[in-house]
A and B are shown apart, each in its own frame.
Chain A
Amino acid sequence: MIKKFVALLLLAGLGLMFVGLLLGFTPDQVLNTTASYYADHSVEDTGAANIVTAVIVTYRGLDTLGEVTVLFLTATIVSLILTQPRPSGTPIIGVAEKKALSSGELLQTGTRLLVPLVLLFGVYVFVNGHLTPGGGFQGGAILASALLLLLLSDPTKRFNHRLISRVESISGILYVVIGVLGLVLAGGFLDNRILPLGAFGTLFSAGAIPVIYTLIGLKVGAEFSSMMVTLSESRDR
C-alpha cells in the first residue's frame, strides 16, 4: 500500500511538470531554421520527395547507420543469451515431446495466401521510401511480419539461420561500402549523389537513396526475423 502511495506521489510530481510544460507550450506558426533549410533544399540536394527520408538517409545518414548498429547489437545479444546452454539440473520449460495443437485451417490457408502479398508489400514500402510515407525500417518490419505469420501457423517451423545472417551481414557491409563511395565520388560519407538524381518524383530518382533504403529494409527485416526466430525456438530447447 505504502509503495503504491509513493509511486502515485512520484507520478503526481511528474504530472505537475507535464502540466507546466503543457501550459507553456504554444505551437509554432512558422518552421524553425533547421526545418526550413530541409524544406527548401532537400529537393536540390537529394532529389527525394519525402523530406523525412531525405533527413534520415542523407542529412543524418550517419545516425541511421548507428541506429541500424543498435538493432544489430540487440539481435546479436538476444540470440547470444537465448542460445546459451542452460545450467545442468534446471528443468526444461514447456513440454517439447507433447505434440502441438494444430493452428487451424483458417490460419494455415490464410498464411499461404497472405505471406507472398505481405512480402511484396514490404518490398514496395522500402523501394518507394523516397516518394511515399514509409521506408527501410517500416518495410523491414513488414517483411518480418510475414515470418511471424508463418511462425503462428506452424510454431514448430524451423528457419535457415545461416540465410538470415547472410542477408543481414551482406546488406550491412554494402550499406557501409555505399557510404564510403559517397566519400570518394561525392561530397561526403553516405552522400546520395554517387548516382544521378534523375527526374524528381519517379522511382529511379534521388540518387542512392532507394538503394540504401533497400539495404536497410533487408537488414532490418533480417534482424527482426532473427530475434523472432530465436525467441520462438528457445521454448523447446
Chain B
Amino acid sequence: MVYVALITGFLLILMGLYGALTNRNILRMTVAFSIASTGTHLVLVAVGYIPGRTAPILDGAVTAADASLRIIDPVPQALVLTAIVIGLGVTALMLTYAYKLYETKRTLDISKYTDLKW
C-alpha cells in the first residue's frame, strides 16, 4: 500500500515537471507545478506511514498509554500541512505574475517574453 502511494507520488512529480518544461502557456505551467507539488506531498506522507497503524489522533480506541505502538509518524503530516499552505502561496504569486505579464504583452506564451534572453 505504501509503495502504491510512493509510486503515484513520484509519477505525479515527473508528470508535473514534464508539463512545466514542455508547455508554453504560463497558466498550464502553473497547473503543472501544482501537480508536481501534490506529488511531493504524497511522497512525504507515504514515508511517514507504518503498516497496520492508525492516524495520530488519540481517543477511546487509541489511548495515550499505547500511543507510540499504535499511531503513525505525526511529523511528516505536520510538514505536509506546511508544504500545502506554502504551495498555495506560490500558486497565488504565479497567477498574479501571469496576470501582470499578460497585461504588458497581451499574451500568455512564455516564448514571447524574450527580454532576459541572450
Chain A residues within CB distance 8 Å of chain B: 3-4, 7-8, 10-11, 14-15, 18, 21-22, 25, 27-32, 34-36, 38-40, 43-44, 49-52, 55-56, 60, 63-64, 67, 70-71, 73-75, 77-78, 81-82, 86, 90-91, 93, 131-133, 135, 137, 200-201, 220, 224, 227, 231, 234
In contact, A18 and B93 (Cβ under 8 angstroms):
no
* Other 7 A-B pairs with CB < 8 A, given A27-B51, A38-B56, A51-B74: A3-B21, A7-B21, A11-B18, A31-B50, A40-B68, A75-B92, A131-B57
In contact, B18 and A67 (Cβ under 8 angstroms):
no
In contact, B100 and A10 (Cβ under 8 angstroms):
no
Is B110 close to A, CB under 8 A? no
Provided the pairs A56-B81, A63-B82 are in contact, do residues A93 and B103 lie with their beta carbons within 8 angstroms?
A: yes
Chain A contacts of B99 at CB under 8 A?
A: 82, 231, 234
Residue B86 contacts which of A35, A70, A75, A201 (CB distance < 8 angstroms)?
A: A70
Residue B50 contacts which of A29, A34, A82 (CB distance < 8 angstroms)?
A: A29
Residues B40-58 near A (CB distance < 8 A): 47, 49-51, 55-58
Chain B contacts of A7 at CB under 8 A?
A: 18, 21-22
